[in-house]
Amino acid sequence: MSVDMTAETTTPKLATAGDYVELLKPRIMMLVVFTALAGLVAAVGVTGQGINPILATVAILAVALGSGAAGAINMWYDADIDAIMTRTSTRPVPSGLVPKDEALTLGLIMSAVSVLLMWIASNVLAAGLLALSIAYYGWFYTMVLKRRTAQNIVIGGAAGAFPPVIGWAAVTGTTPLDAWILFAIIFFWTPPHFWALSLVAHKEYEKAGVPMLPVTSGTKATRNQILLYTIVLAPIGLAPLVTGLGGWVYGVVGAVLTLTFIYFAVKVWRSEAGEPEAGDAERKLAMGMFAFSILYLFGLFAALIIEHGFGLYFAIGGL
Amino acid sequence: MVEKTATVDEHAVLQLQARKRRNVWLALALVGFVVIVGVSTAIRIQETDFSGGDRLYFSGYLDEAEKEAADREAEARYDALKAEEAARAEAAVNAETADE
């Protein structure tokens, strides 16, 4: 039997491999891989312990797969609220390209594969930390925190903070203070980074019933919190100079980026960003801070890679 | 205006083609996984000192004290073996000297 159907109205789009890649949240994956690489390179530089380059590559691949797995589980669980929000409605699951159960299956299989690969390539500690971070994001943040508390981003931020610790553990089998400083940088960076975006997108979160801070406490409280967390982040971002993890390159890059980040936070704090009467300039300011926050994190971790990966480490201090 | 029409049969064919393309990617991923596990295992075997405290995959550095103790035992066994050989060689030399 052949029935004519118009291609424009009735022929559904067919999923490609690219749609499955989209499930893995590739943009988040890039930042995760970059911070894990920085942790790995810094561990080699600081401790002098080596790791076979192929095994190091497999370890980084495992982190990428783990990040993708957590992203797929998140997309499976959040399909209902993603469909409500304009920004996320075109994602593979809410748009109908990928069935929900396939997203979950992909996430679970990739979780197991990533942890197994990490174990094979490095050690049980790094594999355990990777498993913990996947569970933290895929279950604790997505299923427990996100729809329950306005502190979802603060507590859930730990999930994204694990990669440099995992990278460090993959080399040394330990997680010393320096690794946890890198963890703390990402942990305290996440709230101002995400809240800057939520100042612009809070109506969407409200529509979907997600208790983001601007929805529950208002935009003024959010701007206050952005400034507060940025001020707390500033010394933590420069802490590697105290322990000796960061040298001159990190010092210069970190000082410039930290001052600029504070400048953005103060400007957002003084603005009306997120208010109903706020204009386009305020919207651009909040988005500017969001964009700069990515540059901030990228800059700090790039400085570590340059120093420890390219032999450009010149000590300033150190415990 | 309708730009293009598709039949149910044509759609089924398109779906099949799309699934085949995805399956090719899946197959490549599986082959990649097997290759990665194989290469990683080969490197781990090459780098592991099985005579000492190293254990493939289950090692890491979690039990450093146990690993060091096993390494020391292996070194002691090696030293004892060398000492035994040296003693045998010396005894042989002494025997030759006595014969002369």
Tell me: the pLDDT tens digits for A101-117? 999 999 999 999 999 99
Place of tokens 């540059």: A295
**What is the DSSP secondary structure assignment for residue B7, as one 8-state letter?**
E
Torsion (CA) A313, A180, A175, B44 in degrees, nearest 10:
-70
pLDDT at B14: 86
Q: Is A173 on the interface with B (CB under 8 A)?
A: yes
CA-CA distances (angstroms) from residue A132 to A58, A115, A127? 19, 10, 9
Q: What is the mean pLDDT of chain A?
A: 92
pLDDT at A7: 43
Q: Which token pair is A49?
A: 């312990």
Cα separation of A88 and A67, whole Å? 18
Query: What's CA A9's distance to the chain center, in Å?
Result: 38
C-beta separation of A34 from A301 below 8 A: yes
Cβ neighbours around A152 below 10 Å, total: 20
Cα separation of A131 and A135, whole Å? 6
**B1 compared with B24, residue with greater pLDDT:** B24
pLDDT band at B52 (very low <50, low <70, confident <90, very high): low
Tell me: the pLDDT tens digits for B8-20? 788 888 888 888 8
Within 8 A of A6 by CB-CB distance, chain B residues are 2, 4-6
Tell me: the pLDDT tens digits for A165-179? 999 999 998 999 999
Cβ neighbours around B61 below 10 Å, total: 14
Tell me: the pLDDT tens digits for B73-93? 878 888 899 999 999 999 999
Selection from B52, B45, B51 nearest residue B69 by Cα: B52
ipTM: 0.79
Q: Which token pair is A227?
A: 């400034």
Which residue blocks in chain A are alpha helix, DSSP H? 17-23, 26-47, 53-77, 79-84, 100-121, 124-135, 152-172, 177-208, 213-217, 219-243, 248-270, 280-309
Within 8 A of B25 by CB-CB distance, chain A residues are 17, 20
| B39-57 mean pLDDT | 79
| A84-99 mean pLDDT | 92
Selection from A312, A177, A157 nearest residue A232 by Cα: A157
pLDDT at B54: 65
HSE-CB at A65 with a 13 A cutoff on CA atoms is: 23
Selection from A312, A59, A63 nearest residue A172 by Cα: A59
Query: Is A133 exposed, middle or buried, given 0-12, 13-18 or 19+ CB atoms closer than 10 A?
Result: buried
pLDDT band at B98 (very low <50, low <70, confident <90, very high): confident
C-beta separation of A182 from A38 below 8 A: yes
C-beta separation of A25 from B20 below 8 A: no
Cα separation of B100 and B97, whole Å? 5
Question: What's phi and psi for A7, nearest 5 deg?
Answer: -65, -30
| A283-287 mean pLDDT | 93
% chain A with pLDDT above 90:
84
Cβ neighbours around A256 below 10 Å, total: 12
Tell me: the pLDDT tens digits for A120-151? 999 999 999 999 999 999 999 999 999 999 99
Residue of A120, A129, A166 to mutate, testing the B interface (most B Cβ within 10 Å of its Cβ): A120
Indicate the helix (H) or strand (E) that contains A38: helix A26-47
C-beta separation of A134 from A114 below 8 A: yes
pLDDT band at A2 (very low <50, low <70, confident <90, very high): very low
Q: What is the mean pLDDT of chain B?
A: 81
Within 8 A of B36 by CB-CB distance, chain A residues are 58, 61, 117
C-beta separation of A249 from A312 below 8 A: yes
Q: Is B20 on the interface with A (CB under 8 A)?
A: no
pLDDT at B49: 73
Q: Which token pair is A157?
A: 């931020």
Cβ neighbours around A112 below 10 Å, total: 13
Of the candidate ranges A1-5, A299-303, B35-39, the one whose mean pLDDT is the lowest = A1-5
Give residues 36 to 75 of B whose Cβ lies within 8 Å of A.
Answer: 36-37, 39-41, 43-44, 47, 57-62
Residue A155: is its pLDDT beyond 80? yes
C-beta separation of A69 from A103 below 8 A: no
